[in-house]
């Protein structure tokens, strides 16, 4: 690990994470499925990027590869200045623990832990002391002060998702990956979560990469990247729900 | 429905394999027991049939012996070609050190020559004449005698006789010979050496049963050779019946544990397949069909497990038979698998599996069809609250168990009845704990998980939380281990207490260093008084205590001990009166005899002495712990009443500061001229007592081991199922930065915590009821806890639990994160 996770070095590249000519093939021979076909993409530090595309376009696969959860068949993934395609499982795990945050669509929290314990879990796994002031700030922003000692089963879906967001932010990772974070939420709770993700980029200087199929969710991002059949086909900067929807229609989704 | 069932089975093959293992082990134990005992029975039967085949007719005494005159009578009968009597009595063989061998003197047995020889001659030939003898193979090997050696044997009056060893003989299945060893002579020499004037048996070649019966049948039992073989085999069969019953008792414990494991597995499987079941109901399956489907699953598992169990039983039986053949005097004639063994093994295996699956199957029928559409809650989790009925049930059982326990151990008179009550109370209390266990998992888990939660990092804390998250599941898993470990700790505590009690009694009441006995059990078994005199002459020895006894009336014993030692070295625990009350003309009696014969303090007892009946007054009652029982009179009175001067036992106390080896040397030197004097030290006595107890404990531990192994399979099983259930959770943890090693460690710790909960509960119960049992046994029992042993049990259980987690943990660590995250 060459950089301190809490504050990236000034000399580092402007990209938080970048994919260079990444392909991903599942299976072999006739049964081979090309999930990604030579994707080149870079995600700027301090930006909120959405990845969109029809079902089976490879958007989730791309995110999994970028986050070091899945391996690539060819190509390179640079997380900051580290080439994660060359790392073994253990180094990769440690890297995720220190430099990546996650928000998943569902099943984000450990049922045996309280909200607070869930939020602090990645830091504890890394054996790092939480910065108490930062923790308090994050908790207040997501509005969970009253619910810290509740277990996930005692929280609503929106609250659970906000706990997941707080967990993703509190360790100050280089990148936060969000996979359909609002997929299971009603529109009000969804809006709260998206507002928090945007705030974490604009006010706290985080980097967020979000996979979604919802044009409204995508409109919270600074930039939207469109995938089809495993390749990047288009992008929009400063999107609105309408521009995103139009672009999706034109892509035939 | 059957097709769905089989599809279900195939889908869960690995999980069911683990379940079937529980049944396999239990059934293996049962069928192994039958294979072993049936094979033993057959071997014994064959051996007897072979040896008795040579005998046409046998005459056996009703009780006592057959006088020599009968032999002449039957010899004269028509058709009788040959008649051989069997003489058996004591004839102590001296070892190469000039001392009588073994714990008890060897037997002197007649060895017939000619066609009525029923024993196998392993080496050499049968003895003939007054200068020849044979030995049984075991004694010859142990004492290092070979054909051609000269051996010395003591006759009935302890006079040495020398013989040439002409053969080594296998005396067949005879427990007494097996234990004591035997020297064989021809009939006249055997009569001379043993001093027996009657025969134990007369064997005839030729003649017929009717004629013999007509001649002697009203006085003696007459049997044909086959009848004799059948009788002998039946008597030996009684032994295998006892072995079988004992083993089956342990098999029962193993099956109980299997039932718990199976119940748990099915309960978890049903919970996990709730959606599947609900879907079946949605598409039109009736409750009855769902119920039958689950039972069919269990029947298939039971059948497969039981069949494997039969195979395992054959293996276990063969191994046990090999051990028995090597260490015991038992002919091995190959394996026997009877129809009964197969029927009982399969029947019990399938029945237990079905019975264990009934409750889970019933809960499967309660799943509403709409559950298929609901999002799944994690099965079995949440805070467990005892229902009202369960609370009532558990408290009634616990309180009844406690009540019985207190009644048996504290209130009731000590003895067998009290111990039975304690045993019952233990069973009832255990059932209560079993009912309440789900509610106890959280507090117990906190205790058992205190160390890993504190020092095991995040994986440790998560593991402890996981162990507590499904209380019912963890409760059943752990209680299965509690059964085996609990019984083992109970035995360990009772054994340790027994040892401590015996040692305490000896130290308190009889603090001597050596005991010298006569190596003869037949009357009169006495040591020459000259030995006591020469012992007294040794400067290394502080005190020499003689115990003399005499018979009076029918079998009652009157004892006297060296007066100066009474109250100074020998301090009997007095039940009533005191030692100083023992004045001339009085006697004391032990508590047991007093109770049996209804004697009380102040009663007058008639002692039949050499010079007529003498009335003595009972001045005191002494308690347990003396090496003799019955009436005890002052030494001077004994001298007046009886002519006995030689002691039956001599106790020796060494002078203060003399090393043990020096003291022993002094005693040995003094005893050297007396071959029948058998010296044992107090330390040896304690050790041999301890060894015997430890041996039994080890056998019990081995037999209970299987129940513990089954319980460990249960832990592996529960963990495997939990891992499957928590696939997404594990993937999340891995995504957040839990390494594979940490994931494996987390599961190991979870298994360890479960094992410690189970074993710890068992140890606590075992110690508690061990205390109750010890207390119920006798007034002066000393309670002792073998701390090291008990701690070892818990530590071993923890280690084994960790081991049980290896496979599920590997599986969990191998699972791909992405697949687990994306799949439902």
Q: What percent of chain B has pLDDT over 90?
A: 21
**Residues in chain B closer than 8 A to A102 (CB atoms):** 732, 735-736
Q: What is the pLDDT of residues B440-482, one digit of tens each?
A: 898 999 999 888 888 888 889 899 988 888 888 899 999 999 9
Q: How far apart are CA A209 and CA B788, in angstroms?
A: 59
For residue B299, the 8-state DSSP code is H
Question: Which value does ipTM take for this structure?
Answer: 0.84
Cβ–Cβ < 8 Å for A75, A23: yes
Nearest chain A CA: its distance from B734 CA (Å): 7
Nearest chain B CA: its distance from A117 CA (Å): 10
Residue-averaged pLDDT of chain A: 86
Tokens at B603, concatenated: 């009663």
Residue carrying structure tokens 């080149």: A40
pLDDT higher than 60, residue B124:
yes
Q: How far apart are CA B510 and CA B187, in angstroms?
A: 44
CB-based contacts of A245: which residues, under 8 Å, 6+ apart?
A215
For B405-416, letters b (16+ CB in 10 Å) and e give bbbbbeebebee
With CA atoms as reference, report the closest residue to B127 among B153, B90, B105, B102. Answer: B153
The sign of the torsion formed by the CA atoms of B150, B154, B160, B163 equals: negative
Nearest chain A CA: its distance from B739 CA (Å): 6
By Cβ distance, the residue of A60, A70, A90 closest to B739 is: A90
Nearest chain A CA: its distance from B737 CA (Å): 4
Q: What angle do CA A115, A152, B438 make, to 5 degrees?
A: 110
Residue carrying structure tokens 């168990």: B401
Confidence of residue A7 (pLDDT cuts 50, 70, 90): very low
By Cβ distance, the residue of B733, B735, B822 closest to A60 is: B822
By Cβ distance, the residue of B462, B728, B739 closest to A107 is: B728
B741 → chain A, closest CA residue? A90
Q: How far apart are CA A103 and CA A164, in angstroms?
A: 6
- Tell me which residues of chain B have a C-beta less than 8 Å from any C-beta of chain A: 378, 381-382, 457-458, 462, 465-466, 469, 728-729, 732-742, 817-818, 821-822
- Could B737 and A93 be called an inter-chain contact, meaning their C-beta atoms sit closer than 8 Å? yes
> Mean pLDDT, to the nearest integer, of B310-339?
80
Q: What percent of chain B has pLDDT over 70?
A: 94
A89 interfacial to chain B (CB closer than 8 Å): yes
pLDDT attached to residue B386: 65
Helix, strand or coil, per DSSP, at residue B754? helix
By Cβ distance, the residue of B465, B734, B821 closest to A93 is: B734
**Residues in chain B closer than 8 A to A178 (CB atoms):** none
**Residues in chain A closer than 8 A to B381 (CB atoms):** 111
Nearest chain A CA: its distance from B456 CA (Å): 11
A64 interfacial to chain B (CB closer than 8 Å): yes
Nearest chain B CA: its distance from A171 CA (Å): 11
**Residues in chain B closer than 8 A to A89 (CB atoms):** 739-740
A102 interfacial to chain B (CB closer than 8 Å): yes
pLDDT attached to residue A82: 86
Tokens at B565, concatenated: 């030692």
> Mean pLDDT, to the nearest integer, of B603-611?
83
Report in angstroms the alpha-carbon separations of B320 from B175, B244, B328, B819.
19, 13, 11, 49
A124 interfacial to chain B (CB closer than 8 Å): yes
Q: Which residue has the higher pLDDT, A237 or B104?
A: A237
Helix, strand or coil, per DSSP, at residue B80? strand
CATH architecture type of domain A45-60+88-251 = 3-Layer(aba) Sandwich (3.40)
Query: Mutate which of B381, B469, B735 to test chain A, going by most A C-beta atoms within 10 A?
Result: B735
Q: What number of residues does chain B have? A: 824
Q: How far apart are CA B598 and CA B592, in angstroms?
A: 10
By Cβ distance, the residue of B469, B732, B740 closest to A107 is: B732
> Mean pLDDT, to the nearest integer, of A96-105?
88
Nearest chain A CA: its distance from B811 CA (Å): 16
With CA atoms as reference, report the closest residue to B37 among B255, B343, B341. Answer: B341
Q: How far apart are CA B470 and CA B459, in angstroms?
A: 18
pLDDT attached to residue B458: 86
> Mean pLDDT, to the nearest integer, of B519-540?
80
The sign of the torsion formed by the CA atoms of B467, B470, B474, B475 equals: positive
Q: Within 10 Å of residue B702's Cβ, how many Cβ atoms?
A: 10
Residue carrying structure tokens 């015997």: B692
By Cβ distance, the residue of B382, B458, B821 closest to A104 is: B821
pLDDT higher than 90, residue A57:
no
Residue carrying structure tokens 């470990």: B485
- Taking only residues 222 to 241 of chain A, the set having a beta carbon closer than 8 angstroms to any beta carbon of chain B reads none
Size of interface A-B (CB pairs under 8 A): 67
Nearest chain B CA: its distance from A197 CA (Å): 18
By Cβ distance, the residue of B465, B737, B738 closest to A112 is: B465
**Residues in chain A closer than 8 A to B458 (CB atoms):** 121, 124-125
Nearest chain B CA: its distance from A247 CA (Å): 27
pLDDT higher than 80, residue B488:
yes
pLDDT attached to residue A43: 92
Tell me the sheet residues that pair with B165: B133
Confidence of residue A9 (pLDDT cuts 50, 70, 90): very low
Nearest chain B CA: its distance from A113 CA (Å): 8
Q: What is the largest CA-CA distance in chain A?
A: 56
**Residues in chain A closer than 8 A to B820 (CB atoms):** none
Q: Within 10 Å of residue B433's Cβ, how many Cβ atoms?
A: 22
pLDDT attached to residue B524: 60
pLDDT attached to residue B168: 92
Q: What is the pLDDT of residues B275-297, one digit of tens each?
A: 777 777 777 778 888 888 888 88
Query: Mutate which of A24, A58, A63, A69 to test chain B, going by most B C-beta atoms within 10 A?
Result: A69
**Residues in chain B closer than 8 A to A124 (CB atoms):** 457-458
Q: How far apart are CA B727 and CA B824, in angstroms?
A: 9
Q: What angle do CA B27, B33, B34 make, to 5 degrees?
A: 95
pLDDT attached to residue A5: 43
pLDDT attached to residue B797: 92
pLDDT higher than 90, residue B700:
no
pLDDT higher than 90, residue B502:
no
Q: How far apart are CA B683 and CA B196, in angstroms?
A: 37
Confidence of residue A3 (pLDDT cuts 50, 70, 90): very low
B742 → chain A, closest CA residue? A125
- Could A107 and B381 be called an inter-chain contact, meaning their C-beta atoms sit closer than 8 Å? no
pLDDT attached to residue B14: 66
pLDDT attached to residue B380: 53
pLDDT attached to residue B757: 94
**Residues in chain A closer than 8 A to B817 (CB atoms):** 69-70
Nearest chain B CA: its distance from A253 CA (Å): 21
Tokens at A185, concatenated: 């939420």
By Cβ distance, the residue of B378, B736, B742 closest to A121 is: B736
Q: What is the pLDDT of residues B737-773, one digit of tens each?
A: 888 999 999 999 999 999 999 999 999 999 999 999 9
pLDDT attached to residue A8: 43
Outline where DSSP puts E strands in B494-611: 514-518, 541-552, 556-561, 574-576, 586-590, 604-609
- Could A64 and B818 be called an inter-chain contact, meaning their C-beta atoms sit closer than 8 Å? yes
pLDDT higher than 70, residue A12:
no
Q: For A189-198, A214-223, B497-506, B783-792, which range has the lowest pLDDT when averaged over its residues?
A: B497-506
CB-based contacts of B789: which residues, under 8 Å, 6+ apart?
B492, B496
Tokens at B119, concatenated: 């024993």
**Residues in chain A closer than 8 A to B818 (CB atoms):** 64, 69-70
Tokens at B426, concatenated: 């233990």
- pTM assigned to the model: 0.78
The sign of the torsion formed by the CA atoms of A167, A169, A172, A174 equals: positive
Residue carrying structure tokens 């299945």: B173
Q: For B254-268, B319-333, B356-370, which range has the lowest pLDDT when averaged over its residues?
A: B319-333
Nearest chain B CA: its distance from A245 CA (Å): 26
Residue carrying structure tokens 């076909």: A37
Q: How far apart are CA A17 and CA B756, in angstroms?
A: 47
Query: In whole angstroms, what separates CA B469 from the centre of its chain?
Result: 40
pLDDT attached to residue B349: 93
The Cβ-side half-sphere exposure at B626, using a 13 Å CA radius, reads 27
pLDDT attached to residue A1: 37
State the helix-helix crossing angle for B2-11 and B13-52, rounded to 10 degrees.
Answer: 100
Q: Which residue has the higher pLDDT, B344 or B266?
A: B344
pLDDT attached to residue B206: 84
- Could B466 and A112 be called an inter-chain contact, meaning their C-beta atoms sit closer than 8 Å? yes
Query: Mutate which of A96, A178, A184, A211 to test chain B, going by most B C-beta atoms within 10 A?
Result: A96
Confidence of residue A11 (pLDDT cuts 50, 70, 90): very low
Q: What number of residues does chain A have? A: 253
- Could B818 and A122 be called an inter-chain contact, meaning their C-beta atoms sit closer than 8 Å? no
Q: How far apart are CA A161 and CA B154, in angstroms?
A: 95
By Cβ distance, the residue of A107, A125, A153 closest to B738 is: A125
Tokens at A143, concatenated: 């509005």
Tokens at B84, concatenated: 């051989």
By Cβ distance, the residue of A70, A97, A107 closest to B737 is: A97
A26 interfacial to chain B (CB closer than 8 Å): no
pLDDT attached to residue A216: 92
pLDDT higher than 80, residue B80:
yes
């Amino acid at each position: 690990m060459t950089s301190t996770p809490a504050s990236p070095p000034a000399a580092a590249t402007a990209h938080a994470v970048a994919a260079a000519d990444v392909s991903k093939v599942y299976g072999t021979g006739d049964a081979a499925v090309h999930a990604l076909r030579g994707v080149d993409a870079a995600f700027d530090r301090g930006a909120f990027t959405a990845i969109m595309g029809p079902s089976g376009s490879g958007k989730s696969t791309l995110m999994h590869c970028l986050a070091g959860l899945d391996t690539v068949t060819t190509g390179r993934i640079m997380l900051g200045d580290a080439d994660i395609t060359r790392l073994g499982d253990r180094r990769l795990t440690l890297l995720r623990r220190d430099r990546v945050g996650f928000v998943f669509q569902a099943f984000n929290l450990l049922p045996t832990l309280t909200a607070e314990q869930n939020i602090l879990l990645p830091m504890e796994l890394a054996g790092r002391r939480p910065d108490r002031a930062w923790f308090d700030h994050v908790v207040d922003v997501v509005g969970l002060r009253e619910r810290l000692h509740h277990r996930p089963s005692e929280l609503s879906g929106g609250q659970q998702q906000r706990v997941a967001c707080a967990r993703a932010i509190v360790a100050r990772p280089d990148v936060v990956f969000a996979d359909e974070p609002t997929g299971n939420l009603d529109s009000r709770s969804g809006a709260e979560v998206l507002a928090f993700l945007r705030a974490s980029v604009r006010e706290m200087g985080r980097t967020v990469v979000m996979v979604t199929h919802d044009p409204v969710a995508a409109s919270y991002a600074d930039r939207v990247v469109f995938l089809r059949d495993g390749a990047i086909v288009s992008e929009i900067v400063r999107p609105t729900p309408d521009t995103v929807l139009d672009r999706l229609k034109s892509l035939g989704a | 429905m059957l097709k769905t069932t089989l599809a279900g089975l195939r889908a869960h093959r690995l999980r069911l394999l683990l379940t079937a293992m529980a049944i396999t082990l239990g059934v293996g134990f049962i069928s192994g027991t039958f294979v072993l005992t049936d094979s033993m029975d057959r071997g014994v039967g064959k051996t007897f049939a072979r040896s008795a085949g040579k005998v046409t007719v046998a005459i056996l005494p009703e009780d006592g012996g057959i006088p020599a005159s009968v032999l002449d009578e039957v010899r004269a009968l028509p058709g009788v070609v040959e008649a051989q009597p069997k003489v058996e009595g004591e004839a102590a063989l001296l070892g190469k050190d000039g001392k009588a061998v073994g714990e008890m003197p060897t037997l002197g047995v007649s060895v017939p020559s000619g066609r009525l020889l029923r024993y196998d001659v392993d080496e050499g030939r049968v003895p003939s004449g007054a200068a020849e003898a044979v030995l049984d193979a075991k004694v010859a090997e142990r004492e290092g005698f070979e054909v051609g050696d000269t051996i010395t044997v003591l006759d009935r009056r302890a006079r040495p006789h020398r013989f040439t060893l002409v053969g080594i003989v296998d005396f067949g299945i005879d427990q007494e010979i097996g234990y004591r060893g035997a020297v064989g002579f021809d009939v006249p020499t055997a009569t001379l050496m043993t001093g027996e004037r009657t025969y134990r048996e007369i064997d005839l070649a030729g003649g017929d049963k009717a004629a013999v019966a007509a001649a002697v049948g009203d006085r003696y039992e007459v049997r044909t050779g086959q009848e004799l073989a059948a009788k002998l085999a039946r008597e030996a069969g009684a032994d295998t019946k006892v072995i079988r019953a004992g083993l089956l008792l342990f098999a029962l414990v193993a099956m109980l544990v299997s039932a718990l494991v199976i119940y748990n597995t099915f309960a978890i499987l049903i919970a996990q397949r709730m959606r599947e079941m609900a879907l079946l109901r949605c598409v039109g399956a009736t409750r009855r069909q769902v119920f039958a489907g689950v039972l069919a699953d269990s029947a298939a598992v039971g059948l497969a497990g039981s069949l494997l169990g039969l195979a395992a039983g054959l293996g276990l039986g063969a191994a046990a038979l090999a051990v028995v053949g090597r260490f015991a005097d038992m002919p091995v004639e190959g394996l026997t698998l009877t129809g009964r063994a197969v029927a009982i093994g399969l029947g019990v295996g399938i029945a237990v599996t079905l019975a264990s699956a009934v409750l889970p199957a019933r809960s499967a029928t309660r799943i509403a069809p709409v559950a298929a559409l609901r999002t799944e809650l994690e099965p079995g989790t949440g805070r467990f609250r005892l229902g009202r009925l369960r609370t009532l049930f558990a408290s009634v059982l616990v309180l009844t168990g406690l009540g019985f326990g207190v009644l048996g151990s504290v209130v009731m008179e000590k003895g067998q009845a009290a111990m039975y009550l304690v045993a019952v109370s233990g069973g009832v209390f255990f059932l209560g704990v079993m009912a309440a266990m789900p509610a106890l998992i959280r507090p117990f888990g906190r205790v058992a998980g205190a160390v890993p939660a504190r020092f095991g990092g995040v994986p440790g804390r998560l593991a402890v939380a996981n162990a507590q998250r499904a209380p019912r599941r963890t409760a059943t898993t752990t209680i299965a281990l509690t059964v085996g470990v609990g019984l083992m700790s109970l035995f360990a505590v009772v054994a340790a207490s027994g040892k401590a009690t015996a040692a305490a009694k000896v130290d308190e009441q009889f603090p001597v260093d050596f005991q010298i006995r006569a190596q003869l059990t037949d009357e009169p078994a006495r040591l020459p008084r000259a030995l006591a005199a020469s012992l007294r002459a040794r400067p290394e020895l502080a005190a020499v205590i003689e115990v003399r006894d005499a018979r009076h009336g029918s079998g009652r014993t009157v004892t006297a001990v060296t007066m100066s030692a009474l109250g100074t070295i020998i301090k009997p625990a007095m039940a009533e009166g005191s030692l100083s009350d023992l004045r001339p003309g009085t006697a004391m009696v032990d508590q047991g005899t007093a109770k049996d014969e209804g004697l009380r303090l102040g009663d007058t007892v008639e002692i039949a002495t050499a010079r007529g009946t003498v009335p003595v007054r009972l001045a005191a009652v002494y308690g347990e712990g003396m090496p003799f029982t019955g009436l005890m009179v002052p030494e001077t009175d004994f001298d007046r009443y009886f002519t006995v001067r030689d002691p039956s036992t001599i106790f020796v106390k060494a002078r203060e500061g003399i090393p043990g080896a020096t003291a022993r040397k002094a005693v040995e030197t003094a005893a050297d001229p007396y071959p029948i004097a058998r010296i044992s030290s107090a330390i040896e006595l304690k050790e041999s007592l301890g060894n015997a107890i430890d041996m039994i404990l080890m056998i019990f531990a081995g037999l209970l081991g299987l129940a513990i192994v089954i319980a460990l399979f249960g832990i592996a099983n529960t963990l495997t199922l939990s891992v499957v259930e928590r696939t997404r959770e594990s993937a999340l943890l891995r995504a957040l930065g839990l390494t594979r090693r940490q994931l494996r460690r987390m599961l190991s710790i979870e298994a360890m915590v479960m094992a410690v909960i189970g074993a710890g509960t068992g140890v606590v119960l075992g110690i508690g009821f061990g205390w109750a049992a010890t207390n119920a046994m006798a007034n002066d029992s000393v309670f002792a806890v073998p701390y090291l042993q008990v701690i070892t049990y818990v530590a071993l259980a923890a280690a084994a639990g960790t081991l049980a987690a290896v496979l599920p943990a590997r599986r969990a660590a191998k699972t791909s994160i992405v697949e687990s995250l994306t799949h439902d």
